[in-house]
Structure 1
Amino acid sequence: MKSRYQIVIFDLDGTLCESGDGILNSVKYALEKMGCPVPPPEVLRKFIGPPMGQSCQKYCGMTPEQAAEMVAFYRERYHAIGWLENRLYPGIAELLKDLKAGGAKLATASSKPKAALVRIMEHFGIIEDFDALAAAGPDGFHSSKPEMIEQAIAGCGGADQRDVVMIGDTHFDVEGALVAGVDFIAASYGYGTKEELRRAGANCFADTVEALRVLLLPS
């Protein structure tokens, strides 16, 4: 089967990996270390995806200095155990292999710091499938999804925007794809809600990895 797109760009958390337990357990740990209340589940869930420092300020009302301290506590637990509270979505490993066989180049555009991204992808044995890895900086604050998408395209050798697709599960992914001028498929099996994704501009949804396969590798 031939890939519909020349370049396929993936978010990590909620798209390739079901990583919520490790992230949220580490957020709770960091909040407790800070002496801060843990937000309700519907707010806590929003920590999955965006840069952690930004989420600390947005959802917990922290100053930049407090957010930096919380990010350090978060990483304390996440790097020890949280990154292992994680698994690939069933069918992802096979999909990546089939996309490569179908002629696609693969890349990431993830708000996770690159060192953590590489560690997780090596752990799951999928890093060799990727041609480019675009990720956030090491500070947990600065991450421009449109810039990462552009870096991913360049890392794959370039392509017409019509031949590129971004796949992700949050409004940050949708908005990044719109700014970058590439197609977007919402991984609605992930952590973002369909309402959030639609509001951001998504109009193509994959409720399962198998549905994503059909969109990327039409028979």
Structure 2
Amino acid sequence: MKYDTILFDLDGTLLYTLEDLTDSINHTLTEYGLPTHPIENVRRFVGNGLRMLVVRALPDGENYDKFDQFFADFVDFYNNHNRIKTKPYDGILETTKELSEMGIKMAIVTNKGQTASNSLLDDFFKPYINIVIGDDGNHKRKPDPEPINLALEALDIKDKSSVLYVGDSDVDAATAINSGLDYILCTYGFRDMEDLKEFSPVAFIDSINKIKEYL
């Protein structure tokens, strides 16, 4: 087996979170009297963390005079409403269980805030995945390699050649490349093949259970 460690992205890879993200950003926009967005717009806003989602959703971006309070209100609302419609993609729970039973070490590396990431880890992935590196404000976000390195440190992994990164976006591809990791891109998530075709991963997969073919 070439890979004995897998690092997963979260949103669009393990979990379908788009509706809760859309509902939360639109709720906050409405509270501030600002125009809302259809779900397909929000799909394009995600991938670089909650702060960048807000920047992209606001008409004036970071120049909005109430940006800091808006961001705080959005994060608070989302942290309390992030499990309403969120669910694992088909086959995720079965596959992570099987990978764990095979002895594969796993962790999640996400640009989502650490609080929300912790609650989603507890609700959906323990005991098969027990580590999540989210955005706690103390380190750089993907595509910088720092969160990847933190995950590898937590797993006590030093040989990157045995590590596979799995994500669904251009940010994920850049993360893997910047970190010196082999990677797989999922085409069922927040980006489609047209968005990903410029990259050269180990494989493109349309179902998570196909990951076992490349171990």
TM-score, with structure 1 as normaliser = 0.85
Is the 1:113–1:135 Cα contact (8 Å) retained in structure 2? Answer: yes
The separation in 2 between residues aligned to 1:49 and 1:137, in whole angstroms, is 16
* Percent of residue pairs bearing the same amino acid type: 24
What corresponds to 1:192 in structure 2? 191
Alignment of 1:57-72 (within 5 A): 57-58=55-56, 60=58, 61-63=60-62, 66-72=66-72
What corresponds to 2:104 in structure 1? 104
Letter in 2 for 1:19: T
The separation in 2 between residues aligned to 1:32 and 1:153, in whole angstroms, is 41
The separation in 1 between residues aligned to 2:34 and 2:140, in whole angstroms, is 23
TM-aligned CA distance change 1:142 to 1:24, over 3 Å: farther
Q: Quote the offset at 1:192 in angstroms.
A: 1.4
TM-aligned CA distance change 1:66 to 1:6, over 3 Å: farther
What corresponds to 2:95 in structure 1? 95
Is the 1:8–1:107 Cα contact (8 Å) retained in structure 2? Answer: yes
**RMSD (Å), alpha carbons:** 2.4
Letter in 1 for 2:114: K
The answer to which of 81-90 and 41-50 deviates more is 41-50
Is the 1:29–1:73 Cα contact (8 Å) retained in structure 2? Answer: no
TM-aligned CA distance change 1:159 to 1:104, over 3 Å: farther
What corresponds to 1:9 in structure 2? 7
What corresponds to 1:151 in structure 2? 150
Is the 2:20–2:85 Cα contact (8 Å) retained in structure 1? Answer: yes
**Equivalenced residues, count:** 212
Larger helix proportion, structure 1 or 2?
1
Letter in 1 for 2:165: M
Q: Quote the offset at 1:48 in angstroms.
A: 2.9
Q: Quote the offset at 1:213 in angstroms.
A: 3.6
The separation in 1 between residues aligned to 2:155 and 2:50, in whole angstroms, is 27
Q: Quote the offset at 1:67 in angstroms.
A: 3.7
The separation in 1 between residues aligned to 2:121 and 2:130, in whole angstroms, is 13
Letter in 1 for 2:111: S
Is the 2:161–2:181 Cα contact (8 Å) retained in structure 1? Answer: yes
2:18 to 9, 20, 28: 20
Letter in 2 for 1:148: P
Is the 1:30–1:70 Cα contact (8 Å) retained in structure 2? Answer: yes
C-alpha offsets along residues 2-47 of structure 1, whole Å, 9 cap, x if unaligned? x541210011111111111111111111222232222454432123
TM-aligned CA distance change 1:121 to 1:4, over 3 Å: same
Matched, 1:119 2:119: yes
The separation in 1 between residues aligned to 2:14 and 2:92, in whole angstroms, is 6
What corresponds to 1:54 in structure 2? 52
In structure 1, stretches of 5+ residues that fail to align are none
Q: Quote the offset at 1:184 in angstroms.
A: 1.0
In structure 2, stretches of 5+ residues that fail to align are none
C-alpha offsets along residues 91-144 of structure 1, whole Å, 9 cap, x if unaligned? 1111112112222110111111122111112112x22212532111259x9523
Letter in 2 for 1:32: T
TM-score, with structure 2 as normaliser = 0.86
Local SS of the residue matching 1:192: coil
Q: Quote the offset at 1:193 in angstroms.
A: 2.1
Q: Quote the offset at 1:74 in angstroms.
A: 1.8
Q: Quote the offset at 1:90 in angstroms.
A: 2.0
